[in-house]
Amino acid sequence: MCGIVGYTGSKKASPIIIEGLRRLEYRGYDSAGIATQEKEGIKIIRSVGKLNNLIEKLSQTTLLGNTGIGHTRWATHGKPSEVNAHPHKAGKFVVVHNGIIENYLSIKNKLVKRGCNFESETDTEVIAHLLWSYYEKSQNTKEAILKTVKELRGSFAIAILNEDEKESIYLVRYESPLVIGVGENENYFASDIPALLVHTNNIIFLKDGDIIKLTPEGYEAFDFNGKKIIRLPEKINLSLSQAEKGGYPHFMLKEIHEQPEAFINTVRTRIKPDTKEVVFDEIPRDIFKKVESIHIIACGTSYHAGLIGRFFLEEIAGLPTLVEIASEFRYKKNFFNSKTLYIFISQSGSTADTLAALKLTKNNKVSTLAICNVLGSSISTEADYTIYTHAGPEIGVASTKAFSTQIAVLFLLSLQFGFYKKAININQLSAFIDSLLKIPKAMEKCLKDSSKIKQLAQKYYHYNNFLYLGRGLNYPLALEGALKLKEISYIHAEAYSAGEMKHGPIALIDENMPVLVINTKSNQHEKTISNIQEVLARNGKVIALISEKDKVTPKYTKDIIEVPQINNYLDCLLSIIPLQLFAYYCAVLKGTDVDQPRNLAKSVTVE
Ligand code: M6R
């Protein structure tokens, strides 16, 4: 995934674009580039590595133009290098692109035969050449764009400058996010809203198949057939502070600390304060009655949230539930069922595998529901129904508050299904909601107790390998804890269901293999104690994450992390906090780049 941003108005474009790129850097940081309309033509400056390298380069040049575009890259085609950095130019056209052009090779071969010279190894450069080849004939930008997009297969958000139109930026959206920020006699665009909030809250969410001509005075919208369409701005209720670090050293730490508030924002409008009923206005009531099973599809952390959701849906609502990784689901034989609700979970709403799995599912005429955080994202617009998590912008590459809010939504959905299906009665519903409402305070407590986690990180951060164990609901939590540790601290961490340890991983246990066991209150508590003993008997070191009232586990290890005990289903929302913090502090001690870990991007818009 990459980030694109741009401006047209009366101000100098380059500082606005650099500021926008700074806010989009989480989307990719292999290289960055900018192009502005200058008197002498379009000037392009590119640099490999993080945005600071580009800024350094910009300090040696002058960009005065009032219209320009920028890009921060996560490499797909072609290694990170200056020549592969965007923007790319052909003739009078300059483009930046987020997404992937799947048929770029065949287009490139065709263009090379016609005599086009390619500079880079990227898929994007074919877009610039196609545009220029069509424009050379017609001298009409719109026509060149219409012809070009018809040739492209894949996903793309594209911004285009034409040297002949000094004040215009053309935008194209297809399966990659793109939003416009509407100002007064000036307009902006970006891959994501946080890049625009400093300028405006008036946002237009572009849809797949939109083409826009943006000028300082306004915008015109067309579809891929060139027909005029209407796109209107919406006032977005997000503040700039939500997209800034707000005094925290990293976005990830800020976002971990935002969880109580994010959780409240997610559940607030979905619980009737007087009757304590659950409300999901986004979903027709008959879905709750008609559906007989659930199929959840997601990737990464969102997949782990789905695994937790399965326990809620099966045990509270009595609905058989399958959970699958999107990249597996989309290539296997599936048995689509009209009585199954297919739920797609994605923070970004633009993960390529999840989006492809959703499209495949929709083709089979079954009901689809998206649980997304990013407003107007591809997955949220593609699904039949969408529940937004309202966690606010998540900028750190490691997903934190998105996870807890996804769990909150899955829990509420289970209550609603359970109630409609008479698996739980009104008293049980009300008791569950009472417990749910205690979570934000309990989360605050976990966040306050972080000194113990810091000490543990200090003791353990130099180990090269970790095992995470848990049973039942604590198993997906172990998967998520291990994912957090490996992605930001680069420490190898494997998660196993504690009962599976004896089937192989136990061979790994020795004094160099710390084992983090999640053993909060559950009906498998004693069995997990046995697993702890098995580890200790082999000189393993155990860190145990337990409920406050547990007096047994502390007999076996001194390295204890305690979380409040509220409800067996909901305690995972508390346990996740020390797991996130442990990974965070290990990464800080190791000196890794917490918010922008190597090789990763915030959302993976490629297969
Ligand atoms: O935006 P999505 O929720 O679809 O993203 C899915 C994964 O790419 C994401 O959760 C990834 O695993 C995170 N880096 C985990 O912290």
Range name among 71-75, 344-348, 414-418, 514-518 with the lowest pLDDT average: 71-75
Tell me, in angstroms, the distance from the centre of ligand 1 to residue 459's CA.
29
Catalytic position from the list 2, 116, 299, 446: 2
Q: Answer yes or no: same fold for 245-437 and 448-594.
A: yes
Tell me, in angstroms, the distance from the centre of ligand 1 to residue 349's CA.
10
Task: Give the tokens for residue 51.
Answer: 């945005």
Tell me, in angstroms, the distance from the centre of ligand 1 to residue 303's CA.
8
Q: What is the pLDDT of residues 443-474, one digit of tens each?
A: 999 999 889 999 999 999 999 999 999 999 99
Q: Is the CB of 605 under 6 A from ligand 1?
A: no
Task: Give the tokens for residue 208.
Answer: 């797949």
Is pLDDT at 562 greater than 90 in this prediction?
yes
Catalytic position from the list 43, 92, 401, 602: 602
Q: What is the mean pLDDT of the chain?
A: 93
Range name among 25-29, 138-142, 177-181, 398-402 with the lowest pLDDT average: 25-29
Atom of ligand 1 nearest to the CA of 299: 6
Q: Give the pLDDT of residue 99.
A: 87
DSSP string, 463-516: -SEEEEEE-TTHHHHHHHHHHHHHHHH--EEEEEEGGGGGGTGGGG-STT-EEE
Q: What's the topology of domain 3-242?
A: Glutamine Phosphoribosylpyrophosphate, subunit 1, domain 1 (3.60.20)
Q: Is the CB of 398 under 6 A from ligand 1?
A: yes
The CA distance from 399 to 335, in Å, is 31
| Beta sheet of 169-174, edge-to-edge order | 88-90, 93-101, 154-162, 169-174, 210-214, 219-222, 228-229
Is pLDDT at 309 greater than 90 in this prediction?
yes
Q: What is the pLDDT of residues 7-37, one digit of tens each?
A: 999 999 999 999 999 988 878 788 999 999 9
Tell me, in angstroms, the distance from the centre of ligand 1 to residue 442's CA.
25
Q: Give the pLDDT of residue 536.
A: 92
Q: Beta 219-222 vs 228-229: how paired, if at all? A: antiparallel
Closest to 122 (Cα-Cα) out of 174, 173, 87, 160: 87
Higher pLDDT: 453 or 599? It is 453
Q: Is the CB of 387 under 6 A from ligand 1?
A: no
CATH class of 448-594: alpha beta
Q: Is the CB of 580 under 6 A from ligand 1?
A: no
Q: Is the CB of 357 under 6 A from ligand 1?
A: no
Q: Is the CB of 405 under 6 A from ligand 1?
A: no
Q: What is the pLDDT of residues 122-162, one digit of tens each?
A: 999 999 999 999 999 999 999 999 999 999 998 899 999 99
The CA distance from 36 to 431, in Å, is 59
- CA dist 85 → 57, 92, 145 (Å): 14, 18, 22
Catalytic: 12?
no
Is pLDDT at 393 greater than 90 in this prediction?
no
Atom of ligand 1 nearest to the CA of 484: 16
Q: Give the pLDDT of residue 25.
A: 85
Is pLDDT at 45 greater than 90 in this prediction?
yes
Tell me, in angstroms, the distance from the centre of ligand 1 to residue 408's CA.
17
Nearest residue (CA) to ligand 1, atom 2: 346
What is the residue extent of each domain of the chain? 3-242, 245-437, 448-594
Q: Is the CB of 351 under 6 A from ligand 1?
A: yes
Tell me, in angstroms, the distance from the centre of ligand 1 to residue 529's CA.
32
Tell me, in angstroms, the distance from the centre of ligand 1 to residue 397's CA.
8
Q: Is the CB of 399 under 6 A from ligand 1?
A: yes
Nearest residue (CA) to ligand 1, atom 14: 398
Tell me the pLDDT band of 243, cut-offs 50, 70 and 90.
confident
Q: What is the pLDDT of residues 352-370, one digit of tens each?
A: 999 999 999 999 999 999 9
Residue whose tokens read 């200058």: 38
Q: Is the CB of 370 under 6 A from ligand 1?
A: no
Nearest residue (CA) to ligand 1, atom 7: 300
Q: What's the topology of domain 245-437?
A: Rossmann fold (3.40.50)
Catalytic: 602?
yes
Q: Give the pLDDT of residue 319.
A: 98
Question: Do 168 and 162 touch, CB atoms closer than 8 A?
Answer: yes
Tell me the pLDDT band of 191, cut-offs 50, 70 and 90.
very high
